Amino acid sequence: MSYPSQRGTKKALGHIIAAVRAFGGFSVLLTKRGKIVYASPLAKSLIFQDSGVLTNPDLVAVAKEAWKSREHVARSCQLTNLGPFQEVVLQAEVVESRWILVTVIDRTDEVKAIQIRRDFVSNIGHELRTPVTSVGLIAQALKSCSGDQAAVEHFSQRLANVAKRLERLADGMLALAHAQDPQTTQPLTRIHVSDLVDKAVFQALETARGKGVKLKTKKRVEAHVLGDEESLVSALENLLSNAIYYSPKGSRVTVTSQKGEEEGIISISVIDMGIGIDTADQERIFERFYRTDEARSHRVGGTGLGLAIVKHTALSHGGNVSVDSQIGSGSTFTLTLPIASNEDHEERKD
């Protein structure tokens, strides 16, 4: 027969466990000796011990601190031993003067987002430094040669080139922000793959002619994709421009389209005969501002945002982009997109 105090303890424990279960997430209820009274499904999958005793040193430490101080304890921590958790807040507090509740708040994605924003601001500052400095130097040069018409025209042209570079950078940042923002919705239309390719090739023709590179289209397929036509054409044109910039004069850039190995997928490939990309660079080439050849990129006027824009545009349309390349043997960039089903309307909004 149970004593009233024991029945009261079990009842209180039942209420606490019910509350912890409703909280969900990662939570563990312990005795002061570290015995696990209750563990949420997520916690059980990550820290389950046959002994029924909490052994994770970080969790044990915060639990002991809470028991000793009898206050709510919260500590930011970097973990590598709790599955997907890397950046977390460990919390612990004593409940009903008997047990210790330990919870883990995952901040991994939040910390990554903060770091991405920091890197972005840092990269923007780096990208702006050179053209802004150039503007100042050119302005001084113009002032000093005001009586020399030829020099004035020369430095005026240089100033115009810097302005164009800044404009491209601003346009690239806006395009990337648009591609990354899930709240930015555009009318989705059924687009024939051949039309998508033709429009992108037409936009890249002038650049190809100026560089002395031939554009060729082959392997057309009868298929439609559903998406924002302007964004998809821009993404494909980015791949074409990138291929043209890094291709030698007299070479060829080819665009092919075909149904992918996976059912319901269309693949559009841009194949160049350029300098190729080192294997180590291929892993990072779709990052913002990453360049395999910094000096060459500045000469041709690249912003380092084109491939990042392509990646985010592809992902926002349920697709992806990849690269296959070898140094000296050219590169193949492949944009994959879901084929629009027959049930998709001619035009709709997400």
Q: Which domains does the chain have, with CATH numbers?
A: 4-106 (3.30.450.20), 111-183 (1.10.287), 185-350 (3.30.565.10)
Residue tagged 């390719």 (tokens) = 197
Q: How do strand 85-95 and strand 73-82 relate by DSSP bridges? A: antiparallel
Instruction: For residue 130, give the H/E element and its range.
Output: helix 108-144
DSSP states along 44-105: HHHH--TT-B---HHHHHHHHHHHHHTS-EEEEEEEEEETTEEEEEEEEEEETTTEEEEEEE
Residue 107 identity = R
- pLDDT for position 256: 92
Residues 320 and 280: their CA atoms lie apart, in Å, by 20
Ordered per-residue pLDDT tens for the chain, 350 residues: 333 455 556 777 777 777 777 666 888 888 888 888 888 888 887 776 666 888 888 888 899 999 999 989 888 887 766 767 778 888 899 988 888 998 888 887 777 767 666 766 666 666 677 677 777 888 888 888 877 888 888 888 888 877 777 776 676 666 666 665 655 555 678 889 999 999 999 988 988 998 899 999 987 778 888 888 888 988 898 899 889 988 889 999 999 998 866 778 899 999 998 888 888 777 778 776 655 554 444 444 455 677 888 888 888 888 999 999 888 888 999 999 998 876 555 444 44
Phi, psi (deg, nearest 5) at residue 122: -65, -45
Residue 255: per-residue pLDDT: 93
User: 30: buried, middle or exposed (CB in 10 Å: 19+, 13-18, 0-12)?
Assistant: buried
For residue 94, which amino acid is it? V
The answer to whether 174 and 168 have CB atoms below 8 angstroms apart is: no
Distance in Å from the first CA to the final CA of the chain: 63
Residue-level pLDDT at 335? 92
* pLDDT score for 116: 64
Alpha-carbon gap, residue 64 to 90, rounded angstroms: 12
78: which strand partners? 87
283-286-287-288 Cα dihedral, nearest 10 degrees: 160
pLDDT at 145: 84
Q: What's the pLDDT at 207?
A: 86
How high is the pLDDT of residue 126?
A: 61
Q: For residue 236, count CB atoms less than 10 angstroms from its CB and return exposed for 0-12, middle for 13-18, buried for 19 or more.
A: buried
> Which residues are bridge partners to 217 per DSSP?
255
